[in-house]
Amino acid sequence: MAIQRIVICGGGVMGRGIAQLIAATGTEVTLVDLTDEILKKSIELLSEEMDAEIEKWGLTLSEKKAILARIKGTTKLEEVCDVPIIIEAIPEEEERKKRLLKELGELCSPETIIVSNTSTLSITELASVTNRSDRVVGVHFLHPVTKIPLVEIIRGLRTSQRTYDLVKEFCEEQLNKTAVSVYEYPGYVTTRIIVPFMNEAMHVLMEGIATAEDIDTAMKLGYGFHMGPLALADVMGLDVVMKWMENLLEELSEHKYNPCPLLRKLVRAGHLGKKTKLGFFIYNEEGNKIGENPEIKLRGFIPPPEK
């Protein structure tokens, strides 16, 4: 049976993507955030993102209008909790997520399933603050949500089979995603594997072995990746990628998850990738890559002195 209405907490990049994906199926979406100003900005950004898709023939104007018509915003969480599934999509910070899940456990109907969109955190730990650990499950949507055909469904130690089955059916039948089942472990499958890949590419760049463009070209053409690791990190957000690495480093104590010093430097400088128009690459107003970040100095590319 199709679910008619979904609540999403958090109107950031992932929340907006999930809202668009679900609204495109004809489902009503209520987007919840802290203030009316944040909600207004989120809807404006979603509209701009869909305009960019229209320019690339990925969406029609009528589809955009229909999607936006199905998305409503509110700051009153207590008024919208009577839904079968509520999705948490706030930033990847454990204490913030636990505070929200605790509140959801108190406000929602006992039958409501709480879904956490997390890429590294423990579902068991997040569920422990609720009164319904059996009805808490992780669904890791990958960015961009509307384009990537995969979701990871993560079971906590107490997630019931019925909760898992209902969420899997929703993801596969209603959202048309391929769902892979993951038993809880830090980083799950996709994040755990992609993080060292991106981190090693950053070390290769920092050591001056090749330029950012050549590193990405080598991995795309050599191994058939759709996008190179450095451009991928820019798209994900360098601050987000670093947070993933720090979470995995803390959980697993393995050096391969220690963020590359170059990544730390860029994040400290506010160069967060595509969203700030500067990361490993430079981006124009439309989000198109137009060059490499000139502030990244490659010691391997200092020409020898002329004789």
For residues 237-245, give the mean pLDDT. 94
For the chain, give the percent of residues with pLDDT over 90: 84
Residue 258 scores a pLDDT above 90: yes
Residue whose structure tokens are 């969203």 = 275
Model pTM score: 0.87
Q: Give the pLDDT confidence score for residue 304 in this predicted structure.
A: 54
For residues 33-45, give the mean pLDDT. 95
Contact status, residue 29 vs residue 71, Cβ threshold 8 Å? yes
Asked if residue 186 has a cis previous peptide bond (ω within 30° of 0), the answer is: no
Report residue 124's pLDDT band, with 50, 70 and 90 as the boundaries. Answer: very high
Q: Give the pLDDT confidence score for residue 199 in this predicted structure.
A: 98
For residues 149-156, give the mean pLDDT. 96
What are the tens digits of pLDDT across the range 169-195?
999 999 999 999 998 888 899 999 999
Domains of the chain from N-terminus onward: 5-183 (3.40.50.720), 191-298 (1.10.1040.10)
What are the tens digits of pLDDT across the range 276-304?
999 999 999 878 899 999 888 765 454 55
Average pLDDT, the chain: 93
Report residue 1's pLDDT band, with 50, 70 and 90 as the boundaries. Answer: low
